[in-house]
Structure 1
Amino acid sequence: MHVKPPASALHRAAASCRRLAEGWGGSPRALDVLTALGCLGLMALDLPGLAAADNSLSGPLAAAVLAAGCATLLVRRRMPWLSYVAALLFIGWLHELTLIQFALYSVGRYRGRRAGIVATVGFVGFALVLFCGVPGWPESRAETLSGFLSLVVPIGVLATAVGIAAYRHDLVGELTARRAESAVLQAVQQERTSVARDVHDFVGRELTLLTVRSEVLSVRARTTSYAKDFEELADTARRAHLVLNEIIVQRGERTSTPGVDGLAALARQSGQAGSPVRLAMDADAHALSPLRQAAVYRVVQECLTNAAKHAGGETVDVTIAADGPHLRIAVSNPLPARVPGRAPVSAGSGTASMSERVRSLGGTLTARRTQDAYEVVATLPLR
């Protein structure tokens, strides 16, 4: 019986496959191909022994049979049991135990704990039946059985355990990714709701003023032919306000987002929290519509929150200035060397919510990290 290879050889082969796959872009298909080639390379060491032990296999035929068995690893993600069945066939026919180790890993890796345990128990039971129930299998039964129980079985169990651990790691990674995606979607939805509230507040206020003004003009012009027109205008504005209330449902008692006039207070709060702010703002910012001013405030607010998490104590530069037909908002903060300790809590959804609000108003937002600073740049149309 061919009791090959030791765990260290398998470990080195797997590490080599991973490095090569990463060099090819880390694609699953490339990793599967390299895994099959690695298994074939390890089994090729047994070609002389296979040809000598089994007269039905010549050297080229043995190589073809081993290659066919290793080819089942190409579909191990979708059909890991195919490699497992081929490995059992190799055990009974060729006394070859290399493929079963790859097959056990694949079953545990892509089918989970229960399937991995079943595959391992089946492999050990099948091999023991061959040892104890098939005459002349193998010739040196005691010596080979000892090597099987002391080397092959532990390696098989280890391969299954590693596969199951990788399977659970994938589940945790997928769950983390879905939670992050859900957090981003929730942040975007909250930002859309916030924009809707701001639309309701700002537009509703203007519609209210329009209604009141039209009613006043209607009273003043009641002796003229324009009185009816002013009354119809007031009714139209009133109906528009009602429709706005029906479409945009306010939730809770949350007030609308402040405009650029609230940035000074926001900067003072940040300074009191330990992150000083250098605020430079052109007068053009006050010419923005209320909705765009609210967007400027939210961008600066989120940037200052991030700076407090990742660059506490460093001065944050906030520049708001006209740049052609756009208003440019730039927030930059240094990134000090990481101090040992717990990382700051962050959902990673702030940039997504900022981008959603800016894009909804026809602007752009970019965030980039340099070697020693983090900068967010947003643009909004001035008109």
Structure 2
Amino acid sequence: MHVKPVASALHWAVATGRRFAECWAGSPRALDVLTALGCLGLMSLDLPGLAAADNSLNGPLAACVLAAGCSTLLLRRRMPWLSFLAALLFIGWLHELTLIQFALYSVGRYRGRRAGILATLAYVAFALVMFLLPGWPEPRVETLSAFLSLVVPIGVLASAVGIAAYRHDLVAELTARRAESAVLHAVQEERTSVARDVHDFVGRELTLLTVRSEVLSVRSRRTAYAKDFEELADTARRAHLVLNDIIVQRGERAATPGVDGLPALAEESGRAGSPVRLVLDPDAHALSPLRQAAVYRVVQECLTNAAKHARGETIEVSVAADGPHVRIAVSNVLPDRTPGRAPVSAGSGTASMAERVRSLGGTLTATRTDGSYLVVATLPRG
């Protein structure tokens, strides 16, 4: 009878717990708190022995001392040496070796290899002095080999794990920066490509304008309009020279193809193993050359991505010129990936594609929906 309310309450509890876990899982402060609590939990096992071994400490006071030492781990990212000094104090006063493991890990993790090695050497030297002095807890082992087999490995292992984590963080950061650099480079390349297209398309029109103006100036040589046509021709030539000066990295690359190149692009994708269903609105042929180049670039990059992540699946490509905008939609099914290496992708192609669309005042979105991947770009027809 009460199954439904219980199930609803259970579902709410699970959802709340999941949200709480997601909120705290990636929080550095939460990890620091959990680390401090974990250290305190391990050290609390020694409370009866500490109170018995040191007459100045009773149970509650010993708990407060251990809690104060563990609280230094809350600052382990900014001040790991504070935890290290507190751990040395615990070794000399209470012969407690738990905190030093967390402290050495923190020094190695957040200060690197050199600091980790120095902290480990300092710990071994200090612990050796404490081990040789009278007062080490019973049963006392007088041999140096016992010290080397127990006390030393504790610090060396904790420090080594921290240094390894530090190196892992460096590699992850380097990988992220390389990916960011690749995206920035791709965006810059796309801007250069847009500039080249501007040069090719606009430069051609300026050349035609110059030639036409010169022809008209010759034809109207004996009229009052001859001087005006000559000035118009000179203005077009100067504009062409300025365009050449601005775009200095033109090179020998041809302009990006327009919508006329889409059938050949779809054919090439089909030969590569990814068939394409292309629906091309005839009105798209009336777009300006720059917008046609953007359409071609979007479809080209989408086909490349589909070949990487959904090889063999049919790709649906639609270019519709309806109203004041042009809509490019490319979708493909995402297959269930079999175990193996994922395709290498830094996202730079998508960034350059989006840069091309934004440069013309358009928008681009890429979404996963129901096992498929959909890219939609919208451009003003102009």
Alignment-derived partner of residue 343 in structure 1:
342
Shift of 1:266: 0.8
2:233 is the counterpart of 1:234: yes
Kindly indicate whether the alpha-carbon contact (under 8 Å) linking 1:329 and 1:378 is maintained by their aligned counterparts in 2. yes
In the TM superposition, residue 251 of structure 1 has moved relative to its aligned partner by: 3.8
Deviation at 1:80, TM superposition (A): 1.1
Q: Is contact 2:320–2:328 with CA below 8 Å preserved after alignment?
A: yes
User: 2:353 is paired with a residue of what secondary structure?
Assistant: helix
Equivalenced residue count is 364
Matched residue, 2:78: 78
Q: Is residue 318–residue 332 contact of structure 1 (8 Å, CA) maintained in 2?
A: yes
In the alignment, structure 1 segments of 5+ residues that lack a partner are 1-18
Closer, same or farther in 2 for the Cα pair 1:160/1:215, shift >3 Å? same
My pick for the range that moved more, 267-276 or 61-70, is 61-70
Shift of 1:354: 0.3
Structure 1 residues 175 and 192, CA gap change in structure 2 (3 angstroms): same
The answer as to 2:126 corresponding to 1:126 is: yes
Conserved 8 A contact 2:326-2:381 = yes
Q: What is the alpha-carbon distance in structure 1 between the residues aligned to residue 333 and residue 20 of structure 2?
A: 37
Which range is displaced more, 268-277 or 84-93? 268-277
Instruction: State the 1:274 CA deviation.
Output: 1.4
> Residue in 2 aligned with 1:301?
300
Partner of 1:352: 351
The answer as to whether partners of 1:287 and 1:382 remain within 8 angstroms in 2 is: no
- Counterpart in the other structure of 2:115: 115
Aligned residue type for 1:343: A
Gaps of 5+ in 2: 1-18
Q: Which residue of 2 aligns with 1:329?
A: 328
State the Cα RMSD in Å.
Answer: 2.0
Q: Distance in 1 between matches of 2:318 and 2:110?
A: 52
Contact kept? 1:21, 1:34, Cα under 8 Å: no
Quick check: 1:313 aligned with 2:312? yes
Displacement of 1:189 in angstroms is 0.4
Contact map agreement 1:108 1:161 (CA 8 A) in 2: yes
How far off is 1:22 after superposition?
Answer: 5.1
Q: CA–CA distance in 2 between the matches of 1:31 and 1:189?
A: 39
| Structure 1 residues 179-230: Cα deviation after superposition (integer angstroms, max 9, x where no partner) | 1001000000000000000001111111111111111111122222111111
How far does residue 62 in structure 1 lie from its aligned partner after superposition? 2.1
- Look up the match of 1:183: 182
Deviations 1:286-334 (A, max 9, x none): 1211101000000001111111122222211100113432110001111
- Please give the residue correspondences for 1:278-293 in structure 2 after superposition, counting only pairs within 5 Å: 278-293=277-292
Measured in 1, the distance between the counterparts of 2:311 and 2:243 equals: 42
Secondary structure of the residue aligned to 1:286 is helix
TM-score, normalising length from structure 1? 0.90
Query: Could you tell me how far 1:137 is from its partner in structure 2?
Result: 2.9
Instruction: Give the 3-state SS of the residue equivalent to 1:24 in structure 2.
Output: helix
Tell me which residue corresponds to 2:56. 56
Q: What SS does the aligned partner of 2:141 have?
A: helix
1:32 aligned partner: 32
CA distance in 2, matches of 1:229, 1:75: 77
* Per-residue Cα deviation, 1:253-290 (whole angstroms, up to 9, x for no partner): 11110000111111111111111111101122112111
Contact 2:87–2:100 (Cα < 8 Å) also in 1: yes
**Per-residue deviation at 1:109?**
0.9
The alignment partner of 1:342 has SS state of: coil
Q: CA deviation at 1:171?
A: 0.7
Residues 25, 31 of structure 2: 8 Å contact kept? no
> CA shift at 1:20, angstroms?
8.3
Q: 1:361, 1:336 → 2: CA distance?
A: 33
CA distance in 2, matches of 1:136, 1:20: 47
Relative to the length of structure 2, the TM-score reads: 0.90
1:7 maps to none
SS in 2 for 1:240: helix
Distance 1:324 1:152, change over 3 A: farther
1:86-97 aligned within 5 A? 86-97=86-97
- CA distance in 2 between partners of 1:184 and 1:174 (Å): 15
Residue 81 of structure 1, CA deviation: 1.3
CA–CA distance in 2 between the matches of 1:278 and 1:284?
18
SS of 1:142 mapped into structure 2: coil
Tell me which amino acid in the other structure corresponds to 2:85.
V
CA displacement at 1:145 relative to structure 2: 7.8
2:214 corresponds to: 215
What code does the residue aligned with 2:191 have? Answer: R
Structure 1 residue 337, shift from structure 2 partner? 2.2
Deviations 1:234-255 (A, max 9, x none): 1111111111100011343111
* Matches of 1:68 and 1:337, distance apart in 2: 52
In structure 2, distance between residues paired with 1:88 and 1:64? 17
In 1: Cα distance, 2:23 partner to 2:63 partner: 28
Tell me the alpha carbon deviations over residues 85-110 of structure 1, each in whole angstroms, 9 at most, x when there is no partner.
11001000111111001001111111
- Cα distance in 1 between the residues matched to 2:144 and 2:68: 27
What SS class does the counterpart of residue 236 from structure 2 fall into?
A: helix
Equivalent residue, structure 2, for 1:5: none
